[in-house]
Amino acid sequence: STMLPLLLLLLPAAHGIAHLAYRPALTKEPQLEGVKTASTFVVDQPRCVFQNYSNAVIWLVVALNQAASSFNNSAGPGTSETAFQRFPDPVRAYMTLNVTLGSYPCPKPDGDIAVLRVGSETSCIQDDTRPTCNGPLPHPGPYRVKFLALEGSVPVAETAWSVPITLREAKPTSTISTTGSGHSADMIAITTILSILFAILLAGLVAMLFFWGSDSCGSSSTFSKPESVTVRRYNTHHVYDQPAARL
């Protein structure tokens, strides 16, 4: 009688885990920018992949490239063995972004952007009560990811591992060249000097035009003094009535 419960517990393990042909990959959504940053990357959601496991919870497993092949599927999520806060040392792979199958509807509705951004949470980085935190990735990697379906604590299906994913590497501040800013300062100085010289030249030209205009107006407004008109006076010879000629 004591053997029956033990056999029931061992039955799922004996049945084995289903290996699905799906391989996670970086998204190719054309309208999505920042597919890879210095601490995050974006993969497509596994739509129409786990439709035969309606009672399962689907987890994303994030592992260092060299640790992917040795990941133990029976390692429970939310434990110190798979906690994000202990990644990447001593934990070499952690589990995050758990959802039920309803979160991955099949087929994908038109207009949906069906992606997952790995590394997008910052509030739980140091929170040990959130071992499944989807926190920023600590270095460029490379990393590999896969999806794992659990029914209770039993793994029932998994995808293949992705190809290695290497993040963008931020340049150290000491390696950033300041030559460009020097050239910019030189260009600003040259532009300022040229602007001043142009203003002086323009002011001189305006003054010259003003003086030329003044001379031109002066010559056109000078009138020669008109000759004085001499009016001769004539004495009018009065005509007197002559006495009538004597007859």
Q: What is the pLDDT of residues 103-127, one digit of tens each?
A: 999 998 888 889 999 999 999 999 9
pLDDT > 90 fraction of the chain, expressed in percent and rounded: 56
Distances (CA, A) of 222 to 25, 54, 211, 212, 226: 93, 108, 17, 16, 12
Report the alpha-carbon distance of residue 157 to residue 31 in Å, rounded.
31
Pairing of strands 57-64, 143-151: antiparallel
* Residue 68: CB atoms within 10 Å: 20
> CA angle 40-44-47, nearest 5°?
145
Tell me: pLDDT of 89 over 80.
Answer: yes
With tokens 């000097």, the residue in question is 193
Q: Which tokens go with 243?
A: 């006495």
**Mean pLDDT, the chain, integer:** 82
**Whether 26 contacts 165, CB under 8 Å:** yes
- What pLDDT, in 10s, does the model give residues 25-34? 999 988 888 9
Residue 58, φ and ψ in degrees, nearest 5: -100, 125
Query: Average pLDDT in the 185-191 region?
Result: 75
**Domains in the chain, ordered, with CATH?**
15-170 (2.60.40.10)
* Residue 134: CB atoms within 10 Å: 22
pLDDT at position 138 is: 96
Query: Average pLDDT in the 179-194 region?
Result: 68
Per-residue DSSP letters for 122-156?
-TTTT-TT-TT--PPPSS---EEEEEEEEETTEEE
Of 158-172, 206-220, 224-238, give the lowest mean pLDDT range: 224-238
